[in-house]
Amino acid sequence: MFLNEDEIKLENEYLEQGYVIRPAADLEALEWIRNKFILLIAETLDFEVNANPETILNLIHQHISVQDLNDFRLKIIRDVNAIDGMREMYFRVARPYLEALVSNELSMQLRVNLSIQFPEDESSLLPVHADTWSGDSSFEVVVWLPLVDCYATKAMYILPPKPSEELSKNFVERAGKSSENLYQSIQNDVKWLKVAYGEVIVFNQALPHGNRINNETETRWSMNCRFKGVFTPYGDKKIGEFFEPITLRAASKTGMAYKHPKTS
């Protein structure tokens, strides 16, 4: 393995924990992303921006009812994905970590996703799951980007690799009849991730993860998007349908285009 010291450290941390938390690799790109959200919120709710972005996002539940939350979220995510350059900026936030952990020839999800979780809201829960359980490739990673400080129940949890292996060995017995039964069987082993605005998480989506009721006083805003090596196996989500190559190199382009000369 011809990896440098930083790459080895990053790899070991990812393999041991199932995730890494690092400073955003491009703060200007992160600020650009969050400012686009603030402009969309002001336009959608028709109010004047008179506070800093952190306050607006953390206290957005004071301006929207729980009943209107899903329609609001869908509109924001639709508008965000229509912004030129959004996916490129998102990639820039985590690029060196993806190139070290995944590949320098990457496929990226065609759309970025958004989670908005109000305090005490039961309608925005993501039950414990692993993306591979529903057909995602085990070669994918998720880049999870907070737009506000996320901590305790305002964040997400993940089941680390070792207890995840134990779960897999006894899955039927421990899963019970519902996702809640499954969570209860692993709750003492899950790791709650504390990540501040200005940081980014890259995690193994083949490990069980999810969220619970946000018992904090602030709203959670977080984005997520999947990445994988262009030439690694795809699951149900195919290249061209769900993924798009974003950093294909010259030798790969010429290799795929190459044809043997005709000899007869």
Q: What is the pLDDT of residues 158-183, one digit of tens each?
A: 999 999 999 999 898 888 889 999 99
Partners of 19 in the beta sheet? 203
Report strand pairing: 113-117 vs 209-210.
unpaired
Residue 227 near residue 104, CB atoms below 8 Å? no
For the chain, give the percent of residues with pLDDT over 70: 100
| Full set of structural domains in the chain with CATH | 5-232 (2.60.120.620)
Residue 227, φ and ψ in degrees, nearest 5: -135, 155
Q: Which pLDDT score, from 0 to 100, does residue 161 have?
A: 98
Residue 155 near residue 195, CB atoms below 8 Å? yes
Q: Which pLDDT score, from 0 to 100, does residue 51 have?
A: 83
Partners of 126 in the beta sheet? none
167 closest CA partner among 210, 128, 126? 128
Q: Which pLDDT score, from 0 to 100, does residue 234 have?
A: 96
Per-residue pLDDT band for 43 (boundaries 50, 70, 90) equals very high
Residue 112 near residue 73, CB atoms below 8 Å? no
Q: What one-character DSSP code corresponds to residue 6? A: H
How many Cβ atoms are within 10 Å of 217's Cβ, its own excluded?
11
Whether residue 1 has pLDDT greater than 80: no
Chain mean pLDDT for the chain: 96
Residue 109, φ and ψ in degrees, nearest 5: -55, 145
Q: Which pLDDT score, from 0 to 100, does residue 118 have?
A: 98
Per-residue pLDDT band for 71 (boundaries 50, 70, 90) equals very high
Per-residue pLDDT band for 67 (boundaries 50, 70, 90) equals very high
Residue 202 near residue 106, CB atoms below 8 Å? no
Show Cβ contacts of residue 73 under 8 Å, excluding neighbours closer than 6 positions.
114, 116
Q: Which pLDDT score, from 0 to 100, does residue 65 have?
A: 96
pLDDT digits (tens, 9 = 90+) for 205-244: 999 999 999 999 999 999 999 999 999 999 999 999 999 9
Residue 200 near residue 95, CB atoms below 8 Å? no
Q: Which pLDDT score, from 0 to 100, does residue 228 have?
A: 98
pLDDT digits (tens, 9 = 90+) for 123-139: 889 999 999 999 999 99
pLDDT digits (tens, 9 = 90+) for 83-112: 999 999 999 999 999 999 999 999 999 999
What's the predicted TM-score (pTM) here? 0.95
Q: Which pLDDT score, from 0 to 100, does residue 99 have?
A: 98
Q: Token pair 């908005």 is at which residue?
A: 116
How many Cβ atoms are within 10 Å of 1's Cβ, its own excluded?
5
Whether residue 264 has pLDDT greater than 90: no
Q: Which pLDDT score, from 0 to 100, does residue 181 have?
A: 92
Average confidence (pLDDT) over 177-202: 96
C-alpha span between 119 and 107 (Å, rounded): 35
Per-residue pLDDT band for 50 (boundaries 50, 70, 90) equals confident
